[in-house]
Structure 1
């Protein structure tokens, strides 16, 4: 596993950007990162990418987000795009159709984080580990507004994923309240979009602290 991200028995918060207008997004990210509770930040801006000059706009946005994250010492990954990650000197999160982990390892610095989407497939988790990914993402755990048609994975799939010797990230419809359903599992990262990013700026930091409280009740696996 890449050394730029360390894991403990208690999960850490993994924040993903939403599709807010950039000025508002930046304010929310600053509020969240200022709490010191965000362990990893993913830049995912699908709406921007779909616009004319979307790639150029995404680069400019991502550059500003990376600079902000550096101020708060929070590592960043770019969704899907290894070339953009390489250009910005950050990590990448790869879906199953977004390239190979091995190719990303060749392109990025050894310290950069490489995540892999594995859905509920334990074989994909094993593959991610074998390929050298930093973490494997499993979900959706609950119904998600971001990806409402994603398949919900079973608890047994998640249990088996956690047994494969690679840090597991859970994603999909998670809130500071329903994450308690996972307290007996050795989860490394909890990926959150709407439960934090869909709030007004003035409520973002408070919600991050509510997540910290939820994690404080985590059970160390025996």
Structure 2
């Protein structure tokens, strides 16, 4: 697991779907996370079904945010925040091959616990201020450097990431760059170009 990790925004679903399709066509996206807090449970089922079909077309894993039941229903991966249930239980229900991530904020202690409980990747953030979660705790480059040294698991960063500000994270050897706004908040016409700019950055 290395590269871009796209997390859905709150666009109208047809618009979001088009943007994700363009992003997947534009080059290697490692993971896509479904995070749609403002739609009904019935809409979520319809949207996940469509996104899963799209992801399967490009052989990119789909990760469900914070909902073990949906992840199990659709055979998807799962991302758990700190208040979103037991990682051990999720691993038991989803099986050994499932991708399960855990939010660790800025804490190596939380990361150690998640690693012991069988997590697939460790997510740290926010690295920069973010419109998606403006009050999120911040994580320092020093903590990220320590995480890279301490854990053999993929390290994911999130929070205000852009092509322009992420070079120091690339230099640290960060594995996954979770992005919402820098790609999916753009007009559809600009998505492909931005994805390609990220690919250039992450190849360096």
Decide: shared fold, TM above 0.5: yes
Structure 1 segments (4+ residues) deviating >3 Å:
none
TM-score (norm 1): 0.89
TM-aligned CA deviation for residue 100 of structure 1:
1.2
TM-score normalised by structure 2 residue count: 0.96
SS at match of 1:117: strand
Structure 2 CA distance for aligned equivalents of residues 122 and 19 of structure 1: 31
Residue of structure 2 equivalent to 1:17:
8
Structure 1: state its 5+ residue gaps: 1-6, 49-53, 218-222
**Structure ranking higher in helix proportion:** 2
- Pairs within 5 Å for 1:1-222: 7=1, 11-48=2-39, 54-165=40-151, 166-217=153-204
- Distance between the aligned counterparts of 1:39 and 1:156, measured in 2? 25
**CA distance, structure 1, for counterparts of residue 115 and residue 41 of structure 2:** 30
- How many pairs does the alignment contain? 203
Return the alpha-carbon distance in structure 2 between the equivalents of residues 195 and 19 of structure 1: 14
Distance 2:81 2:113 in 1: 13
Q: 1:183 aligns to what SS in structure 2?
A: helix
Matches of 2:26 and 2:59, distance apart in 1: 12
CA distance in 2, matches of 1:158, 1:202: 34
Q: Is contact 2:27–2:195 with CA below 8 Å preserved after alignment?
A: no
